Structure 1
Amino acid sequence: MTTPGPLAEIAILLYPGAQLGAAHGLTDLFSVANLLARRRLGAAAPRLRISHWRGSESGTDAERVFDSDPGVPGEPDFIIMPPAVIAPITAEEAAPLAVWLRERHKGGATLASVCAGAFLLGETGLLEGRAATTHWFYANDFAERFPNARVDIDKLVIDDGDLITAGGLMAWTDLGLRLVDRLLGPTAMLETARFLLVDPPGREQRYYSVFSPRLRHGDEAVLKVQHWLQATGAREATLDAMADKAGLEPRTFLRRFHKATGLKPTEYCQHLRVGKAREMLETTTRPVDQVAWDVGYEDPGAFRKVFVKVTGLGPREYRQRFGVAAIRGGIGA
């Protein structure tokens, strides 16, 4: 019986500064998925072709430098841009590869990025008007560099069909499992996740991200208010008080604050207070109601609703995951 050819080729693009650990991790993940599918279904099992690509010396193309199925014709069906080691790729470095990626996308390839790999994907121009995520640490820089993309850093993976973006540095596991699910099916995905001892897709980046306000917007009046909110913990931060601190009419202040920070003043204060609450839940054993009071909420119920809205978890569930006791338990396990 003849062994069938690969179901699809997943290419991993080793662009300048790409994290090789993630590239090799993805290679291993897809190899494990192939192995488990073959054990379950036999020689007729569908399998994935895995390849690594680098920019050519001419700078206008890319070429395979590793191939699990050498000599088999065809173009990549999926192209993954892994995280960057230190900093996102520059526009100048990205330009030649962006042309190559646009051509592959035009030919039917699905493009996917992890963490700062989204900056290379952004340089293709394909994210304009599209939803995308990246590491929360780079969210402001990404929004400034690609203002027409709809950035949602709460999501760990955004699967938009022909474009897929994953947020965190280690979200390559989530992306890899998502592709296994899409190509080999949910059973293969769950088998692979169990074998690698990783959670199947479904987490959210907002569980882990910290509030990182925009401060380099150039609006001195708004920046003055931001510093005041930080110093006071956003207590008694009414609209009139903030507008007065900025020296602006309330309506003008609302418009300028949102333009500068990307948030309404009420949303900004919520993020600030929840950030302080997260720290208390992680490092102390104070009751949740006391934490709510300490960060400026007189109504514990209102605090819980805001906390869930911002983090995706309730205060007690957050403490169970990220509190000192949970971390010590994990270390000793």
Structure 2
Amino acid sequence: MALSTIAAIATSPMAMFEMSVACEVFGIDRTDDGVPPFAFITCGQSAGEAIPTTSGGQFVPTHSWQDAVGADLVVIPAGGIRDHYPDELLETIREAHRRGATILSICTGAFVLAETGLLDGLSAVTHWRYAEQFAARFPRTEVSMDVLYIDNGSIITGAGTAAGIDACLHLVRRELGAGVATRIARRMVVPPQRDGGQRQYVEAPVPETDCESIQPVLNHITENLDAVHAVPELAKLAMMSERTFARRFVAETGTTPHKWIVQQRVLRARELLEQTDLPVESVATHSGFGSAALLRTHFQSVVGTSPQRYRREFSAR
């Protein structure tokens, strides 16, 4: 798909944070940092008409809902859950999808998306607090409480709040490559990739330790991805027992050390495939996989394609 025109849909009442996610990822000119330009608009029922927000303020969209029909991407941020949504809004989303747009919902924006029928027969995610309500209201959609986002191709759903950032960056990475997504993430000061399979929240309390965070360990891993990282050594570096370290790691990253390291190595491999002419064997070495065969296995599992095919599609050289 093309990814140059983006429309963010505002409903009443509108959640400012989730709308701001779309504005931050797609609405800021970062061409000086090598990010392709986006044409970004915000759409309400009437252009220029103030919309109340869930936090008590107001938001003024620049365009009307109908103007979203021709966009490459339509983002549906969170808002108040309503029994009924305007037919005009629902038909705008359906028509945009028929014309080839990708539709991305954030948090309770999934309720609007499901009301269009576009989620029938698909898996979707919304904020975990509303997952049971969503499942009861839309039985034709399988809802999950244990992931950050779900990519169904032309339909993407993101869980609550910050997971909307993950969903948007995932789409940028999918369409424009890891390099562009990383540059946007760096400017936003957020992780360039949190895997969609991570949990929305941690049911167990964060373990109490004398160490406030394992961030120094994470930094050490990313700076030395080509080294072997065994849990006993990482726990020692964090000055924790192995059991405490494992709990803390899941609490802070939402996944296990092994899975997190694989994700970071795949991200490094993507950047090398995009930005260098290194042979795949060398990419495997520099990203910590050790062999091209192991790189291909993990790359296919995480990205859904082979390193060679990824390079052909996203290489900047």
1:26 maps to a residue whose letter is A
Q: 1:300: which partner in 2?
A: none
Deviation string 1:166-186 (CA, Å, 9 cap, x unpaired) is 012222211221232234321
Cα displacement string for residues 276-307 of structure 1 (whole angstroms, at most 9, x for unaligned residues): xx23x53589xxxxxxxxxxxxxxxxxxxxxx
The C-alpha deviation readout for 1:207-258, integer Å capped at 9, x for no partner, is 3436xxxxxxxxxxxxxxxxxxxxxxxxxxxxxxxxxxxxxxxxxxxxxxxx
Q: Structure 1 residue 121: deviation in Å? A: 0.3
Maintained 8 Å contact 2:90/2:116: yes
Say if 2:6 and 2:71, in contact at 8 Å, map to a contact too: yes
Relative distance call for 1:205 and 1:318 in structure 2 (3 A) is farther
Is the 1:131–1:150 Cα contact (8 Å) retained in structure 2? yes
Instruction: State the alpha-carbon separation in 1 of the partners of residues 16 and 73 from structure 2.
Output: 18
1:192-271 pair list within 5 angstroms: 192-204=184-196, 207-209=199-201
Larger radius of gyration: 1
Aligned twin of 1:282: 207
Distance 1:320 1:162, change over 3 A: closer
> Structure 2 CA distance, aligned partners of 1:73 and 1:14?
11
- What's 1:218 paired with? none
How do 1:185-196 and structure 2 match up within 5 A?
185-196=177-188
Instruction: Give the whole-Å Cα distance in 2 for the aligned partners of 1:16 and 1:196.
Output: 27
Compute the displacement of 1:199 (Å). Answer: 1.2
Aligned twin of 1:47? 37
Is this contact kept in 2: 1:95–1:123, CA < 8 A? no
Q: What CA distance in whole angstroms lies between the structure 1 residues aligned with 2:178 and 2:157?
A: 20
Q: Could you tell me which runs of 5 or more consecutive residues in structure 1 were left unpaired when the two chains were aligned.
A: 1-5, 58-63, 211-274, 286-313, 324-333
Alpha-carbon distance, 1:159 to partner: 1.1
Q: 2-side partners of 1:7 and 1:156: how far apart?
A: 22
CA distance in 1, matches of 2:181, 2:4: 16
Q: Is the 8 A contact 2:69 2:93 kept in 1?
A: no
| Separation in structure 1 between the aligned mates of residue 247 and residue 86 of structure 2, nearest angstrom | 39
| Aligned CA distance change for structure 1 residues 13 and 145 (closer, same or farther; 3 Å) | same
In the alignment, which of 63, 68, 71 is matched to residue 76 of structure 1?
71
Task: Please state how far the C-alpha of 1:317 moved relative to its aligned partner.
Answer: 2.7
Which residue identity lines up with residue 75 of structure 1 in the other structure?
A: G
Q: Partner residue of 1:109?
A: 101
148 and 50 in structure 1: CA distance in 2 versus 1, 3 angstrom threshold: same
State the 4+ residue runs in structure 1 displaced beyond 4 angstroms. Answer: none
Post-superposition offset of 1:7: 5.4
Q: Which amino acid aligns with 1:175?
A: A
List aligned pairs for 1:126-205, cutoff 5 A: 126-204=118-196
Letter matched to residue 108 of structure 1? G
2:201 corresponds to which letter in structure 1? S
CA-to-aligned-CA distance 1:69-105 (integer Å, 9 cap, x gap):
xxx9981111111122xx42x1323443112211221
Change (3 A) 1:322 1:78: same
Aligned residue in 2 for 1:15: 11
Contact 1:143 1:151 in 2 (8 A): yes
Aligned residues: 204
Query: Cα 1:135–1:49, aligned 2, differ >3 Å: closer, same or farther?
Result: same
In 2, the alpha carbon distance for the partners of 1:105 and 1:38 equals: 31
Deviation at 1:149, TM superposition (A): 0.3
**CA distance, structure 2, for counterparts of residue 205 and residue 91 of structure 1:** 30
SS of 1:202 mapped into structure 2: coil
Instruction: Give secondary structure in 1 for the equivalent of 2:134.
Output: helix
Aligned counterpart for 1:98 among listed residues 66, 90, 94: 90
Which letter maps to 2:18? Answer: A
Alignment-mate amino acid for residue 55 of structure 1 = Q
User: Compared with structure 1, are the counterparts of its residues 183 and 168 closer, same or farther at alpha carbon in structure 2 (3 Å cutoff)?
Assistant: same
Identity of aligned residues (%): 30
Q: TM-score, normalised by structure 1?
A: 0.54
If each structure's helix is expressed as a fraction of its own residues, which one has the higher value?
Answer: 1
* 2-structure distance, mates of 1:130, 1:315: 38
Kept in 2, the 8 Å contact 1:94–1:123? The answer is no
Q: In the TM superposition, what whole-angstrom CA distance separates every residue of 1:125-149 from its partner, at most 9, and x where no partner exists?
A: 1111111111111110000000010
Q: Do the aligned residues in 2 keep the contact of 1:153 with 1:206 (CA within 8 Å)?
A: no
The code of the aligned residue for 2:42 comes to H
- Deviation of 1:66 after TM superposition, in Å, equals 2.8
Contact 1:114 1:169 in 2 (8 A): yes
Work out which of the residue numbers 239, 242, 248 in structure 2 matches 1:319.
248
